[in-house]
Amino acid sequence: MSFNWRRTSAIFRKELMDYRRNRFVILTMLFFPVIFVTLPTIQILLINASTSNAKLTAHIGLSLLYMLMIPAMVPSVLAAYTVVGEHEQGTLEPILTTPISREEFLVGKALAVLVPTLGIAYVVFGVFLGISAIFAKPGVASAIFSGPHLLVQLLFTPLLAGWSIWAGIAISARSLDVRAAQQLGVLASLPPLGIVALMSFNVIVPTLGLALGLAAGLLFVDVLGWRAVAAIFDRERLITGKQI
Amino acid sequence: MTWGNRELPPTGPVVAAPPFAPPGGTAEMALVVDHLSKHFDDRVAFDDVSFEVGYGEVFGFLGPNGAGKTTTVRTLGTLLSPTSGSATVAGIPLSAENGQAIRKLISIMPESPGLYKRLTVTENLACFAGLYGLTDSKNRIHDALRSVNLTARASDLCGSLSKGLRQRVALARSLLNDPKILFLDEPTSGLDPVATRDVHELISSLRERGVTIFLTTHRLEEAERLCHRVAILNTTIQLVGRPDELRQQLFTRSLQVRLRTGLSDPGQVFSGLSGVEAWAQQTSNSYLLTVSDPDVAAPVVIRALVDSGADVLSIAESYHSLEEVYFELVEEDVEAKRR
């Protein structure tokens, strides 16, 4: 049977309604962004006009890395809850008895994590840029507003979120305990940040070609992640709660 | 003293009655299960299970905990794949490829209601209406809530509802897609008597509407009250039939006689009476007579008792509940497995 967006959208809407009334989710969605906007903002505002170029690059790189931790870490916690959380509250079986396919279920779950994550990440980045433009030293602000930095942020935010989401859902589909799934999910979200960190610190100079190449690579990994998660999503194992 | 002379079938399942034939019925079956088995590694969940369920029938699936009832429902609902055997569910052969097509036509209400507690009743149902791809979801939700008398609680959060009300919401959810077969897995498990009665009334009303229901339960009075036919499962099917047929099949028919005072020589009164095959004394003034046909034997017995000068307080055919049938079968099976 073909992919049915109505079913995917039912999961998506249900998840958003549930998030809205889930204190844990709201705190998770607020906690990381507040931390990751406060620290870099303070750091940027404390940079002197006389700071050397190398030091300035390091400071900005670190600040922007904080920004990218939002799309990496926020979805990992939520995604790790998606399947095992349903299992724990006894709602997984009723869902799996409906005609929804595993692909529709997984895409619905992933979108429900991705959309708020992107919203938060871009809003936080916007706030950071705004504060930097108004309050940072002119030299610092112009360095932050450089093309490569903006490109890295805009391009890698959804791609990092995609990685974290599929890694989190994969862990969630194989876990029997929510907390263990979330801890593993956070760990699994970190590796791609390594490359981004190298770019943020200008260790790898983020040319347009390189950024696009890495982004394409990450996009390929994200798609592969979706297929891999769909393959390991086993109704029978999920229903019986059998360990791997 | 034993209750009747048990005549258990020697081996294998016994089908005491043909599948339910609905009024003006059709030969098509809602469920056809043929030698179906499910094993988890070396553990047998259920084995060599065969039965048929007609459209409009309420079919009870009885058995002790661990008998394989829930696993059977999950297998027929395409959540688990069978180890061997075959089945046709709502006219579609049971297979992984047909899973989605089958799940469109059926509904399963698991033992635990599985509701989203932070969502309202309507929001829960709206989610499932979307999952079934229903176009007129508002009307369907309204109808489902009306069926279970929950319209007034539509805006309540499910987390604020009692267990009985949650079970009703789960039942409403199962009715959303107007299923060809409704699987109810222990629908009254853990409910208090009032909530249980409510759920029974809802199932009765569904039965009257001609909904095909596959009901698993270990509450025998529930099965007896609600089901057209029952199957008794203890890993394998022990018996399938209408409750009254199962009673007749497992127990010989008998008359229970109660007198004001006991007979001085009961053997002289009961022996040789036409239609009386055996007799036994239960208490000082009551007797149990094994008879071939109670309607024929009762007048003969009364005449003999009156002739002997006895004061007859009552004479009635012994009633064996489904519970007795169940215990006969399940205990016999446990004994057999022990041996």
Q: How confident is the model at residue B336 (pLDDT cuts 50, 70, 90)?
A: low
Give the minimum alpha-carbon distance from A98 to chain B in angstroms, rounded to a whole number: 6
Which among A17, A18, A97 has CB closest to B108? Answer: A97
Contact B80 A240 (CB under 8 A): yes
Given strand B212-217, what is the order of strands in its sheet? B14-15, B236-241, B229-234, B58-62, B212-217, B181-185, B106-109
Q: Nearest residue of B to residue A19 by CA position?
A: B118
Contact B133 A235 (CB under 8 A): no
Mean pLDDT of chain A: 85
Picking from B66-75, B185-194, B295-304, which range would have the lowest pLDDT averaged per residue? B185-194
Q: Reply yes or no on whether the pLDDT at B184 is more than 90.
A: yes
CB nearest to A7's CB, from B80, B81, B131:
B131
Partners of B97 on chain A (C-beta within 8 Å) are none
Best mutation target, B92, B127, B163, to test chain A (most A CBs within 10 A): B127
**Burial degree of B337 (CB within 10 A; 0-12, 13-18, 19+):** exposed
B128 CB neighbours in chain A (<8 A) are: 10, 94, 98
Dihedral of CA atoms B259, B260, B261, B263 in degrees, nearest 10, equals -30
pLDDT number for residue B9: 38
Q: Which residues of A touch B119 (CB under 8 A)?
A: 14, 17-18, 21
Give the closest-approach CA distance of A106 to chain B in angstroms: 13
**Torsion-angle region of B274 (φ positive above 0: left; ψ -120 to 50: alpha; else: beta):** beta
Would the pLDDT of B11 be above 80? no
Of the candidates B30, B37, B31, B20, the one whose C-alpha atom is nearest the C-alpha of residue B87 is: B31
Higher pLDDT pick, B27 / A210: A210
Going from the C-alpha of B185 to that of each of B68, B110, B167, B225, B330, the distances in angstroms are 11, 5, 11, 16, 20
Q: Which residue has the higher pLDDT, B313 or A150?
A: B313
Tell me which of B70, B107, B124, B131 to substitute to probe the interface with A (most A C-beta atoms closer than 10 Å). B131
Residue A88 burial by CB count (10 A; 0-12/13-18/19+): exposed, middle or buried? Answer: middle
Cβ–Cβ gap B127/A90 under 8 Å: no
pLDDT digits over A35-70, tens only?
888 888 888 888 877 777 777 877 787 788 888 888
CB A225 within 8 A of CB A167: yes
Q: Which residues does A contribute to its contact with B (CB < 8 Å)?
A: 1, 4, 6-7, 9-11, 13-14, 17-18, 21-22, 89-101, 235-236, 239-240, 242
Asked whether the predicted pLDDT for residue B36 surpasses 90, the reply is: yes
Chain B residues closer than 8 Å to A108 by CB: none
Considering only CB atoms, which residues of chain B are within 8 Å of chain A? 40, 74, 77, 79-81, 100-101, 103-104, 106-108, 110, 112-119, 123, 126-133, 170, 173
pLDDT at A200: 63
Q: How confident is the model at residue B8 (pLDDT cuts 50, 70, 90)?
A: very low
Closest CA to A82 of A231, A223, A188, A185: A185
Distances B204 to B110, B144, B164, B201, B207 between C-alpha atoms, Å: 19, 15, 16, 5, 5
* B5 three-class SS: coil
Q: Please judge whether B108 and A1 are an interchain contact, meaning their C-beta atoms are less than 8 angstroms apart.
A: no
Terminal alpha carbon distance of chain A: 29
Separation in Å, CA of A219 to nearest CA in chain B: 29
ipTM score for this prediction = 0.85
Closest CB to B80 among A7, A99, A236: A236
Q: Which two tokens stand for residue B266?
A: 């009961």
Instruction: Provide mean pLDDT across the span A154-163.
Output: 90
Helix axes A102-135, A5-20, angle to 10 degrees: 50
Closest CA to B104 of B176, B172, B184: B176
Chain A residues touching B115 at Cβ < 8 A: 91
Mutate to test the interface with B, among A93, A102, A103, A105 (most CBs of B within 10 A): A93
C-alpha atoms less than 13 angstroms from C-alpha of B258 in its C-beta half-sphere: 5
| pLDDT, position A201 | 67
Has residue B335 got a pLDDT over 70?
A: no
Distance separating alpha carbons of residues B35 and B85, to the nearest angstrom: 5
**Closest by Cβ to B131, choosing from A1, A90, A100:** A100
Q: Is B190 left (phi over 0), alpha (psi -120 to 50) or beta?
A: left
Q: In angstroms, rounded to a whole number, what is the distance separating the alpha carbons of residues B247 and B232?
A: 13
Beta bridge partners of B49: B36
Distances (CA, A) of B334 to A202, A210, B236, B331: 74, 71, 12, 5
Chain A, nearest residue to B119 by Cα:
A18
* Cβ-Cβ contacts under 8 Å, A96 against chain B: 79
Q: Nearest Cβ partner of B116 from A14, A236, A239? A: A14
pLDDT grade, residue B109 (50/70/90)? very high
- Across the interface, of A9, A17, A94, the residue whose CB is closest to B119 is A17
Query: Model confidence at B334, in pLDDT bands (50, 70, 90)?
Result: low
DSSP H stretches of helix in A136-234: 138-144, 147-173, 178-189, 191-200, 208-232
Inter-residue contact B199 to B191 (CB < 8 Å): yes
**pLDDT at A196 (0 to 100):** 67
In the predicted structure, residue B82 carries a pLDDT above the cut 90: yes
Q: Is the pLDDT of residue B76 over 90?
A: yes
Residue B218's Cβ-count burial label (10 Å; 0-12, 13-18, 19+) is middle
> B141 near B122, Cβ under 8 Å?
yes
Please judge whether B80 and A98 are an interchain contact, meaning their C-beta atoms are less than 8 angstroms apart: no
Q: Distance between CA B119 and CA A22 in Å, rounded? A: 10
Strands of B286-291's sheet, edge to edge?
A: B276-283, B286-291, B254-259, B312-317
Inter-chain touch A90–B114, beta carbons under 8 Å: yes
- Concatenating the DSSP letter of every residue in A27-82 gives HHHHHHHHHHHHHHHHHHHT--TT--HHHHHHHHHHHHHHHHHHHHHHHHHHHHHH
Beta carbons within 10 angstroms of residue B105's beta carbon: 17
Quick: pLDDT tens for A105-114.
Answer: 999 999 999 9
Q: Among B74, B131, B133, whose Cβ lies nearest the Cβ of A239? A: B74
From chain B, the residues in CB contact with A89 under 8 A are 114, 116-117
B130–A6: do the CB atoms touch at under 8 Å?
yes
Q: Which pLDDT band, with edges at 50, 70 and 90, does B253 fall under?
A: confident
- A236: which chain B residues are within 8 Å (Cβ-Cβ)? 79-81
Residue with the bigger pLDDT between A17 and A243: it is A17
Other C-beta atoms closer than 10 Å to the C-beta of A119 total 11
Question: In the 8-state DSSP scheme, what is residue B84?
Answer: E
Element (H, E) at A116: helix A102-135
The CA distance from A77 to A181, in Å, is: 8
- Lowest model confidence (mean pLDDT) among B51-60, B84-93, B236-245: B236-245
CB pair distance less than 8 Å for B115 and A91: yes
User: Nearest CA to B77 among B96, B58, B55?
Assistant: B96
Token pair 């509250």 in the structure block, residue: A89
pLDDT band with cut points at 50, 70 and 90 for residue B18: low
- CB spacing of A94 vs B100 below 8 angstroms: no
Q: What is the mean pLDDT of residues B7-28?
A: 50
Q: How far is CA B333 from the centre of its chain?
A: 19
Kindly list the distances between the CA atom of residue A139 and the CA atoms of A27, A64, A126, A143, in Å, as whole numbers in the listed order.
35, 16, 19, 6
Band of the pLDDT at B6, cuts 50, 70, 90? very low
Task: Give B115-169 pLDDT, tens digit per residue.
Answer: 999 999 999 999 999 999 998 899 999 999 988 888 999 999 999 999 889 999 9
**Cβ within 8 Å, pair B133-A91:** no
Determine the Cα–Cα distance for residues A101 and B100; give it in Å rounded to an integer: 7
Contact B123 A22 (CB under 8 A): no
Listed in sequence order, the residues at least 6 apart from B294 whose beta carbon sits closer than 8 Å to its beta carbon are B253, B254, B255, B317
* Residue B322 CB partners (closer than 8 Å, separation 6+): B220, B221, B223, B224, B230, B243, B246, B247
